Structure 1
Amino acid sequence: MSYTVAEFITLRLKQLGCHHVFGVPGTSCSDFIDSLVADPDMHFINTVNELEAGYAADGYGRQGALGAVSVAYGVGTLSMANGIASALTERVPLAVINGGPTDKDLSLEAEYDVLFSHSTGFGKTDLHVFKELTLAAEEIRDLDGAADRIDQLLITALEQSGPVYIEIPQDLWKKPIGHFSANLNYTARRHRAGRRQFVRAIKNTLTDANKPVVLLGAELVRFGLIDEAMQFVESQGLPFYTTLLSKSLVSESHPLFCGVYDSDLAPSTITQGVESSDCVIALGCLFGIDHRFMVVSLKDKLIRVAFNKAMVGNNVLRKLSLGTALEAINALPRLNTQQNSIPSVAGLSYQQRREQWQSKFENDPYSGALGHDGIFAAIGDFLNTTQSPYYISLDTCLASFPGADIPVMDTQCFLANPIWLSIGQGTPAAIGSYFATGKRPLIVTGDGGFQMVSQAFSSFVQNNIPAIIVIVDNGSYAIEQFLIDGTFFTEPGKAPLDYVMLNGWKYENMPHVYNGGIGLRVNTYEDLLGALQHAHARSDQPCVIAAQIPMKDLPAENRAFLGI
């Protein structure tokens, strides 16, 4: 059977477990989109804008399959660049499929200085931009060997876990691809050069350690290595933590699970367990600014391997793959002779996990004005009473800190953006996670982040996605106020920075604008819990809940940081 270029890429995506491609239609990619629509096993998910499409593909790719996105050349691709940067930074396998200018377009532009559609007039802009935002980027202008080149790009996305960019001149979509292998067969390369050094470091440090712990990271999800990591944890009897990026990697009911180390603002039992350890073994972890204190202060006590790079402190070892490292350390005899002295958080409620902060809660969770801590107390209590699986998407905002302590008993059901830290990512990324997992999204977002991507609510309505979106409505970019000038929260009567203020929206009226869904507004713990239960019962449509809180409210750990 003869395949066109468009049909070939469609086939390969399907073979790699990608059955949903997100995008906004444009003439440059219309022939490719037609091939998706013609295939009963594929779905083109039409989003409201290109940034939403990029975020949705990012959310899809985090669930173990390849994500894919296709939008118009130039005006579309450049609009979604931030979503692809998120996938690059947090190592999400994703393919950007773009339709580019034809040879005729380029020739006429060069000869007559007349721009083709969406050209900047300064060369191959899309290709140059996405070379900086992907692991590999190529344009396919010659069909001789095109199938192999496309295959290699897709293999790169999977083997190295990150985005790639494939540009097809729009007059080649319907051309025959030529000969290609029926299946995309490849064996992931495993680097072994640093194995002995890594094992030696583990043996020497773990044998003498009094308080060893393990940090489990997102690469374990990306490459299906969770069981191998847990074999090491359980055979050595080691307390373990996850990062926020890898929360729900393992059920938090596991007796050795001690919490989520999201930053040095985590509860003291967590920060002390990690930061005072004399041996921290980090497997597949990505570290960002919120981990800087921990990484620098531990020095040689931190032994880590992630994405083919192994380190002891700041000393880089020879190239080593995580799978190879796990294979090697799982062959070790039991080296840890210490009893687990770090309390597990398994079985604890949100409030119990944060008991040390109770004095900071004031009356927030149960009476008086609602605040950040009351929002998550209500969400935790709600999740504890329902048997239906939810996929929790936590947007970047002040709520990121208490959100790390939501008890999660299910696995592969949590999404955050804690390394790239792009506010607004969580809502559209949940669209992708829904199509990948089928689990109902429960989204917590700040009002500033939501206003950036609010049109995504239309996509929830159009695609009958029964998401529950809880908006932390304090009328400002509160996380920026906290980072720039925290005295606003400590000094009564002090005005916020003018440039962090938002126009107040009536989020509860959004269903009238977008022709579907439920809109609610609450300002107490009891009302929020009731609203969540009401939304849960209406599983046929999305629901937006505006949780109104005082502008000066902070999560307990942020209050403690400021000494209030």
Structure 2
Amino acid sequence: MSKDPSPQPAAEAPPTTVQYVLGRLRQIGVTDYFGVPGDFAFPISDAICADPGLRFIGSCNELNAAYAADGYARIRGLAAISTTFGPGELGALPGIAGAYAEHLPIFHITGRPTRAAQAARAIVHHTLGDGEFDHFRRMTAPAVCASTIITPENCASETERLIAAALYDRRPVYMAIPSDVADRPIAPPAPPVAERRSDPAALEGAVAAIVDAVARAKTACILPGILVVRLGLRSRATAVIDASGLPFATMLMDKATLDEAHPSYIGMYEGAWSDEGVREYVEGADCVLAIGGLPSDFNTGAFTARLDRSRTINVLHHRTRVGHAWYEGVEMGDVLAALAGRLPRRTDLAGPRPVAAVEPRDGGEDRITAAGLYPRWARFLRPDDILVAETGTSSLGMASARMPAGSTFHNQTLWGAIGWATPAAFGAAMAAPDRRTVLITGDGSHQLTAQEVGQFHRFGLKPIIFVLNNDGYLIERLLCKDPDARYNDLAPWRYHELPRALGCDGWYTARVATCGELDAALDRARTCGTGAYIEVVTDRYEAPPTALKLHESTRTLYGEPSAPSHGPAAAGRVPTPVADRGGRRAANEAG
């Protein structure tokens, strides 16, 4: 008589949909979720909080959460945000759109009403009251590279599809989970989507063409762009520089893409806004190897860049152009890896040296001017700093700063949303709490998102925050017809008192209006050991040189037939800068 078989262990229960989504995202590096709670998203928030390997980071509102995720993704390579249906997800949408424009992969997970409520076309809160539940996903569609509504049956396959899309395109994706689906077990898991690779023949053709063009050129240089950073290819791009001996410059959006302490760095190239030596070298080169840049308005000095298409190579995300020939299905990382081993070593190229750091002007009781402020800020930076500079005069003023070794520069050149920088700096600090985060923002931008300052202290972070108080929107004053128009004015906040009101106990705070006061505040901020918040007061029209050049470039910036004779420079309120050197546009092509 045979014995009974040994009892078999019970099969492990399949994960729920929300467990599967969060688990797969954790496997690719997502451990933090910025967001705001909401009832339709409770199952998602509860699952995040129940997992000891994950962290829910509450934000003051959904827009700030999206901006914080943007800053986090700039440091870690990807990020996530959790919102509720309707008002929550739409509140985040402008920040998600900015991440799309600037190639930042963010997983936007939102909770939806139950499937039963949707099927019944019920009139429930957070809807438009019309029984339609897909409005908001459709509104989000242009700002993401892929979207889905999770069900138990499609959870595994759709999660894998969206992960692949986010990593391939380096852009946000949208994942909606109905609240009654979150705790349902999934159907059998699906394998990850295979990573796409370069077409071997196209890759060889592109690399051979690039090597030939560089070898034949009497002068050549490299313009590394922001996609180098977004794709995690800094080391490969640096290897190309080191192997080839080619000098390199960067445009505004691409500042500090590669280390500005590198001996081959020659400075910023911004068309007519450039230092003359850099402009002449780049525009006069027989071969310009551009890697992942974008010929946008601000990147090209208001479309004044003069780059001959026939002498320019563009290595883009998934394709490459050499002269007028395109090579499709070619991945940037593969091109850089091949070039590092095959480009000829050039020892005959001597690009211009970067312009020496400008010494700060004035001191003591002198009022703070742009000439006294921006060089002091540049000198304040130290190696490995994370500098977040707000859209407007803050980022334009810091564009000329020589970044120390290992430091990074972050602004929102393309999307250009004022208010981005404060929560983005918080996200960046959360991503790298061991590095010093320095935020420079303007008063107008700060009023949009200032409440996020309290989050720094809540999570034990110690940033250095500078708020430039120039009594209004200076960048708008430099661009509009009437600089004194009321829409450029602000409520007169006491900015340096905000940290205390927002719970930042023990922080060093100061309000400075003279160079002597600024010097003392900078010294204290270096050593205070806490968060520091310094309100810097200047005159209303105190603008750095690049901002003044922007004012004088409105003709090419906006495509106007003739330069305007209005604005603060025309009115004698700020010095008139040198006029731009022509309006010829850079080649207008994707990437």
Counterpart Cα distance in 2 of 1:514 and 1:246: 34
Counterpart Cα distance in 1 of 2:426 and 2:271: 27
In the alignment, what sits opposite 2:179? 170
Cα separation, partners in 2 of 1:333 and 1:403, compared to 1, 3 Å: closer
Alignment partner of 1:105 is 2:117: yes
Cα separation, partners in 2 of 1:178 and 1:530, compared to 1, 3 Å: farther
Counterpart Cα distance in 2 of 1:191 and 1:530: 58
Counterpart Cα distance in 1 of 2:324 and 2:535: 45
Counterpart Cα distance in 2 of 1:369 and 1:309: 52
Alignment partner of 1:328 is 2:338: yes
In the alignment, what sits opposite 1:422? 417
The TM-score, its normalising length taken from structure 1, stands at 0.88
Q: State the SS of the aligned residue for 1:280.
A: strand
- Further displaced range: 282-291 or 16-25: 282-291
Q: Mapping of 1:25-64 within 5 angstroms?
A: 25-64=37-76
Counterpart Cα distance in 2 of 1:192 and 1:116: 54
In the alignment, what sits opposite 1:255? 263
- The answer on whether the counterparts of 2:270 and 2:305 sit within 8 Å (CA) in structure 1 is no
Deviation of 1:539 (Å): 2.9
Letter in 1 for 2:410: L
Q: Mapping of 1:13-412 within 5 angstroms?
A: 13-109=25-121, 114-119=123-128, 121=130, 122-140=132-150, 142-180=151-189, 186-191=194-199, 194-261=202-269, 264-292=272-300, 293=303, 297-312=307-322, 316-334=326-344, 336=346, 338-344=348-354, 348=356, 350-351=357-358, 363=361, 368-383=366-381, 389-411=384-406
Counterpart Cα distance in 2 of 1:310 and 1:374: 44
- The answer on whether the counterparts of 2:198 and 2:329 sit within 8 Å (CA) in structure 1 is no
- The answer on whether the counterparts of 1:242 and 1:260 sit within 8 Å (CA) in structure 2 is yes
Deviation of 1:81 (Å): 0.9
Cα separation, partners in 2 of 1:81 and 1:117, compared to 1, 3 Å: closer
Cα separation, partners in 2 of 1:196 and 1:135, compared to 1, 3 Å: same
Letter in 1 for 2:489: M
The TM-score, its normalising length taken from structure 2, stands at 0.84
* Structure 2: gaps of 5 or more residues: 1-11, 553-575, 579-591
Q: State the SS of the aligned residue for 1:210.
A: coil
Letter in 1 for 2:50: A
* Structure 1: gaps of 5 or more residues: 353-360, 489-494
RMSD, aligned CA: 2.6
In the alignment, what sits opposite 2:532? 543
In the alignment, what sits opposite 1:355? none
Q: State the SS of the aligned residue for 1:351.
A: coil
Cα separation, partners in 2 of 1:8 and 1:163, compared to 1, 3 Å: same
1:464 to 449, 456, 460: 460
Q: Which has the larger radius of gyration?
A: 2
Aligned-pair identity (%): 27
Deviation of 1:77 (Å): 1.0
Alignment partner of 1:452 is 2:448: yes
Q: Render the CA deviation track for 1:294-320: whole Å, top value 9, x for unaligned.
A: 656433222112221323467654332
Q: Render the CA deviation track for 1:49-95: whole Å, top value 9, x for unaligned.
A: 11100011111111243200011211011111111111111101110
Q: State the SS of the aligned residue for 2:88.
A: coil
Deviation of 1:174 (Å): 1.0
Counterpart Cα distance in 2 of 1:278 and 1:366: 49
Q: State the SS of the aligned residue for 1:251.
A: coil
Q: Render the CA deviation track for 1:122-157: whole Å, top value 9, x for unaligned.
A: 5512210221100101112x3123112112201211
- The answer on whether the counterparts of 2:411 and 2:421 sit within 8 Å (CA) in structure 1 is yes
Counterpart Cα distance in 2 of 1:437 and 1:496: 41
- The answer on whether the counterparts of 1:143 and 1:177 sit within 8 Å (CA) in structure 2 is yes
Deviation of 1:197 (Å): 4.9
2:408 to 413, 438, 446: 413
- The answer on whether the counterparts of 2:164 and 2:193 sit within 8 Å (CA) in structure 1 is no
Alignment partner of 1:484 is 2:480: yes
2:488 to 486, 495, 500: 500
Letter in 2 for 1:428: P
Cα separation, partners in 2 of 1:263 and 1:519, compared to 1, 3 Å: farther
Counterpart Cα distance in 2 of 1:208 and 1:232: 17
Cα separation, partners in 2 of 1:251 and 1:526, compared to 1, 3 Å: farther
- The answer on whether the counterparts of 2:281 and 2:351 sit within 8 Å (CA) in structure 1 is no
Q: State the SS of the aligned residue for 1:546.
A: strand
In the alignment, what sits opposite 2:566? none
Counterpart Cα distance in 2 of 1:265 and 1:364: 25
- Further displaced range: 92-101 or 495-504: 495-504
Cα separation, partners in 2 of 1:365 and 1:5, compared to 1, 3 Å: farther
Counterpart Cα distance in 1 of 2:322 and 2:297: 19
Cα separation, partners in 2 of 1:276 and 1:504, compared to 1, 3 Å: farther
Q: Render the CA deviation track for 1:450-489: whole Å, top value 9, x for unaligned.
A: 111111112223222211211111112111111224xx7x
Instruction: Report how many aligned residue pairs link the two structures.
Output: 535
